[in-house]
Structure 1
Amino acid sequence: MGIGVGIFLAVVGLVLMFAVDVNIPGIEDNTLGLILLLAGIAGIVLGMIATRNANRTRTVEERHIS
């Protein structure tokens, strides 16, 4: 999951929590919004960590020509 997907999930979660009153049988919209918000935040954090580690890891190969 990338940073963009995490932002999307967080926005959808916030919309479900604060802006929309939907009646889904068996699921509260606030609970679903909170779950999506937390999943989005986790996706953003993990995406940033993965990007940071990818930028730090570089392989340099040296060749000496005689």
Structure 2
Amino acid sequence: MGIGSSLFLIAVGAILYFAIDADVSGIEISTVGIILMVIGIIGLIITLFFLGGWRARHRTVVEERPVTRDREYY
């Protein structure tokens, strides 16, 4: 799950929890909203954790050295 899909789940869950006030038989919309927000937050945390670990492992150190000639070319 990426950052975008996590934010999408959080937004849809917040809309279902805070903005929708409808009664559907057999399902509680506010509970579905909370579940979607929790899944989105967990997905966002996991994504950021793996993204941060990937960047730390793939760093390359670049050493800048002065370029000098060892000998003259003819």
Shorter-chain TM-score bucket reads: 0.7 to 0.9
**Between Structure 1 and Structure 2, whose CA radius of gyration is higher?**
2
Q: Give the CA deviation at 1:59.
A: 7.4
* Residue 16 of structure 2 corresponds to residue 25 of structure 1: no
Higher helix share: 1
* Count of aligned pairs: 60
What residue identity is the alignment partner of 1:5? S
What's the Cα RMSD here? 1.5
Structure 2 length normalisation: TM-score? Answer: 0.73
Aligned to 2:34: 34
Counting only pairs closer than 5 Å after superposition, residues 1-66 of structure 1 correspond to structure 2 as 1-58=1-58
- What are the ranges of 5 or more consecutive residues in structure 1 without an aligned counterpart? 61-66
What residue identity is the alignment partner of 2:55? N
Q: Give the CA deviation at 1:58.
A: 2.1
Structure 1 length normalisation: TM-score? Answer: 0.81
* Deviations, residues 9-61 of structure 1 (Å, cap 9, x unaligned): 0000000001012333311011000000000100110110011011011276x
2: CA distance, partners of 1:25 / 1:4: 31
- What are the ranges of 5 or more consecutive residues in structure 2 without an aligned counterpart? 61-74
Higher RCO (CA 8 Å, separation ≥ 6 residues): 1
